[in-house]
A and B are shown apart, each in its own frame.
Chain A
């Protein structure tokens, strides 16, 4: 009986098909598991967790309706920064050809020669103001007030430190994001930081508000207590989203715990489905309690 030859071609083709199927399945599974926007509960939990863990309401907006049509950074540029940089700027219009405060000719000597020290001074000087804004507004829900006030103060403060009128979006993002990080570190505490290459200590450890209240090994968990369809209407026009594109709306009640202790029993979060993705309805969701529960 003749021995059958091993069919190399058939094996090669079957291997490609088999592997393509496995890769496809693993990729889809991983995407569905990790990408929160496909699930309203995960989206709501991520929104609440971001704020609870570091007081970062700014970062939480990245999964809200506000960021549906444009990058969060572009939303801030178009609506709050560019109107301060360019005279008569209309949100959404192009900045091409416009001359404003970000013109290189406005840079003074201090700006040109700064090695980061003056920028650091600016960031540090803005922090108390940032903190006062968050406390006065009970968090980040009134983002328009926060952005407008912060930018206005930042322009003045920058002029005082650098001695010129130059102002650009980078200055804003560097400052506010550093302030948000510092605010988070006041809650969570920090550890000693050493340069990993040279072993030189860069900063010392600090104890955060959460550690004082809940101990060193605290860990927050966020759970969905209740989830139902709702008739609460999201204000989509504010973000240029057509109401017809909304395929579903949910109202969810979430519980925040630290270990066994319930620190927030009820935070109501609204989410809206557009296409296959869920977005937090940031207008109807009140997050004030998430900034005060530890006090």
Chain B
């Protein structure tokens, strides 16, 4: 057993197909919220004579309602996953059997009913998007849980999670590529103006959704066929009381989840990015140019974390990236104020944006690895393995944090900064004072930097690392070996037969 840490459990192809699966899930889930909003607002009921103000107000509450439903379903799914015992495992059935209804409902979101009844249209938006959110949660969360079950060996598991997280982050932007390619093909097939007319009906969105949905089902099924759960589930039933308890009372898990809350303000930069592009860099077209280097930085950071984790523990890695992230954001602030808000700022600003993006790789990967370690610790202490609830709890904290971010961002931007809206119909963006411009820059840099440091604080108290982690891993392996010697009917053995 001395060399058990180094033992490889997963086939090489499994690491890849786990990533493919998460890529597929992200391709659809990354596409849906933004484009659904666009579809509902601009295309679903175009030409029906509905009150645009009423529709617009309802779209906001559709997403609010769906968010609440999603949070509840997330916890319920986590609880149900932990009580699932099948020959395929506990997580795989949710992904494999949930994928088909999810993909069909996602497509139906983009097939608005042909009605002139405004009430019916509004009810449809609530029902279809809530349904999508509910089914989506029941597939997306288990797909993330799978990382904790793919291998009993923590370092192999960490590698699989970080590669899958990288592919997931690529998949999240996949929809943007799909819509671009769909546009090019439609133009070539239909002609320029006919494409414009189809685009005006949102038909490019419908086709792009179908392609993302097809990609989703193909990639998820490749994962479903090729991957196996390699950590046997525990036999004890998990009660609802235990379920809630594990989310809020297990110290290490709580610390990982709390990073979301303490760091909630690090995302406020997104709210101000349009204004940074307009006022500081000189053109609103540069918003995409701003986000692109950051996105590339995030992808690079996601891969980089895997290498850092080979040298440092998860705790050290997390704190290291937090310090790095806060430093790059602070440097960006001082460089921008040093150069001044003029065209010479654009290039250094975009380059530094790339370096600022690298820190996001850490928040995409390391918590997922930590949660998997926490699941081991919980199993070690209680004898119960609760991936479902551990990831659901983390997801719940993330949703609450996201709501805080959405409230803080606009407040900072429109109230704290002293922003002046244009009242001249011919001027899109009114001139702002130097103090306001400086505050825009702070919302983009210094304020997120403070929250990046704060998100690292709970991790100081995280201790599932080093000797403790090794001891628990070893003890669990011995426990499982003893259990499988006494019980040949484990999912691991059954799924091995299928493979």
Query: Which A residues are closer than 8 A to B by beta carbons?
Result: 5-6, 8-9, 11-13, 15-16, 18-20, 22-24, 26-27, 29-31, 33-37, 49, 62-63, 67-72, 74, 115-117, 119-121, 123-124, 191, 195, 197-198, 200-203, 219, 277
Contact = CB atoms under 8 A, between A and B. Distances in A.
Taking residues whose C-beta sits less than 8 angstroms from the other chain, chain B's interface range is 35 or more
Contact of B213 (A19, A31, A35, A67): A19
Interface stretch (B140-148, B193-201, B330-338, B340-348): B193-201
A158 B222 CA distance: 62
Nearest to B100: A15
Nearest to B103: A19
Given A23-B210, A63-B197, A197 B225 contact: no
A202 to B, nearest CB: 6
Interface string B220-240: 011011000000000000000
28 contacts: A5-B87, A9-B225, A11-B96, A12-B225, A15-B100, A16-B217, A16-B218, A18-B100, A19-B214, A23-B107, A23-B210, A27-B107, A29-B111, A30-B110, A34-B201, A35-B198, A62-B193, A62-B197, A74-B192, A116-B428, A121-B426, A123-B426, A191-B53, A197-B410, A197-B419, A200-B423, A202-B423, A219-B49
A195 B427 contact: no
Given A15-B100, A15-B217, A119 B426 contact: yes
A158 to B, nearest CB: 15
A229 to B, nearest CB: 23
Contacts of A74: 192
B213 A23 contact: yes
Contacts of B196: 62, 71-72
B206 A30 contact: yes
A116 B111 contact: no
A35 B423 contact: no
Secondary structure of the B contact surface, majority rule: helix
B88 interface: yes
Nearest to B110: A30
A197 B413 CA distance: 9
Contacts of B99: 15
B497 interface: yes
B114 A117 contact: no
Most buried by A among B87, B202, B413, B423: B423
Nearest to B201: A34
Residue of B53, B193, B213 with most partner-chain A CB within 10 A: B193
B426 A26 contact: no
A37 B197 contact: yes
B100 A26 contact: no
B48 to A, nearest CB: 10
B61 interface: no
B289 interface: no
Contacts of B103: 19, 23
Interface string B169-204: 000000000000000000000011110111001110
A12 B210 contact: no
A164 B395 CA distance: 59
Interface of B: 47, 49, 53, 87-88, 96, 99-100, 103-104, 107-108, 110-111, 114, 191-194, 196-198, 201-203, 206-207, 210, 213-214, 217-218, 221-222, 224-225, 410, 413-414, 419, 421-428, 431, 497-498
Contacts of B206: 27, 30-31, 34
Given A203-B425, A219-B49, A6 B88 contact: yes
B221 A5 contact: no
A7 to B, nearest CB: 8
B218 A22 contact: no
Contacts of A203: 425
B111 A277 contact: no
A13 B217 CA distance: 10
Contacts of B425: 120, 202-203
Given A23-B107, A74-B192, A5 B423 contact: no
Given A23-B107, A33-B114, A198 B426 contact: no
> Which 7 pairs across A and B sit closest by C-beta, in order of nearness?
A120-B426, A12-B221, A67-B193, A195-B421, A71-B192, A116-B427, A198-B421
